């Protein structure tokens, strides 16, 4: 994540190419599943959006190995998984917004009190199995069923961006795992016109600005992370506590 701060605005610069947690997709309506496309071969247009799998923390090992980086390396906390962690990405943006007066510190205190009160979590949603039919394959009789997951939660925000929580089955355990994505429509980038109607080149960068008009997006994402699961909630509470301690010094 590359950003700069000027005049109370946070400008986030994102390469106009698919890379890890940044994926450019197309869809006609916000309630549809998007399809990833080749940014080097297909033109950018009004049906394009960025799906950002934004995070809020980094483990000490990820920082040490250079997998992730944060300006808040002095703010260590112990997460719900008992690992040493640091505030990262979304948490770093929230800190910068509060430090530079974009978000009042009192709002963070109120946010901490709110997320501490959460008792219902998205991870409480259950997997169900539905019977479909009897089938015969190569003479062998089967009962065909389908696993039904709670699918997708969507929340539209101030500037037509969208916070999405995708529900996925845990790989090595029972239950579900919520994954949060921040979806930015193409025309929400302040310089989208530079790319409109053409594929991207290697040096092309899109800029998304957080200012007084849309600053609550940061608070909304923190809230939704905190209601994803008890584990997420624990980590968010710990992050807010250490951010407030630093900001109030």
pLDDT confidence of residue 137: 85
pLDDT confidence of residue 150: 54
Q: What is the mean pLDDT of each run of 10 residues along the chain (249 residues)?
A: 89 94 90 88 96 95 92 93 95 95 95 96 75 80 71 80 83 71 96 97 96 95 95 97 90
pLDDT confidence of residue 172: 57
Report the predicted TM-score, pTM, of the whole model to 2 decimal places.
Answer: 0.87
pLDDT confidence of residue 187: 95
pLDDT confidence of residue 212: 94
Q: In terms of Cα–Cα distance, which of 59, 75, 56, 22 is closest to 189?
A: 22
């Amino acid at each position: 994540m590359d950003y700069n701060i000027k005049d109370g605005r946070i400008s986030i610069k994102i390469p106009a190419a698919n890379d890890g947690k940044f994926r450019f997709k197309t869809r006609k309506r916000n309630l549809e599943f998007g399809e990833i496309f080749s940014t080097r071969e297909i033109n950018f247009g009004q049906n394009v959006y960025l799906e950002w799998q934004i995070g809020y923390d980094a483990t000490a090992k990820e920082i040490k190995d250079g997998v992730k980086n944060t300006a808040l390396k002095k703010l260590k906390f112990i997460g719900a998984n008992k690992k040493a962690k640091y505030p990262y990405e979304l948490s770093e943006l929230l800190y910068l917004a509060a430090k530079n007066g974009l978000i009042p510190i009192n709002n963070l205190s109120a946010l901490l009190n709110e997320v501490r009160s959460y008792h219902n979590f998205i991870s409480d949603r259950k997997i169900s199995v539905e019977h479909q039919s009897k089938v015969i394959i190569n003479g062998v009789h089967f009962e065909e069923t389908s696993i039904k997951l709670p699918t997708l939660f969507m929340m539209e925000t101030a500037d037509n961006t969208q916070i999405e929580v995708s529900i996925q089955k845990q790989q090595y355990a029972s239950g579900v795992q919520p994954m949060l994505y921040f979806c930015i429509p193409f025309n929400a980038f302040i310089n989208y016109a530079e790319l409109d109607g053409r594929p991207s080149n290697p040096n092309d960068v899109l800029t998304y600005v957080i200012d007084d008009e849309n600053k609550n997006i940061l608070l909304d994402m923190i809230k939704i992370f905190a209601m994803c699961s008890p584990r997420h909630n624990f980590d968010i509470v710990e992050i807010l506590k250490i951010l407030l301690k630093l900001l109030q010094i």
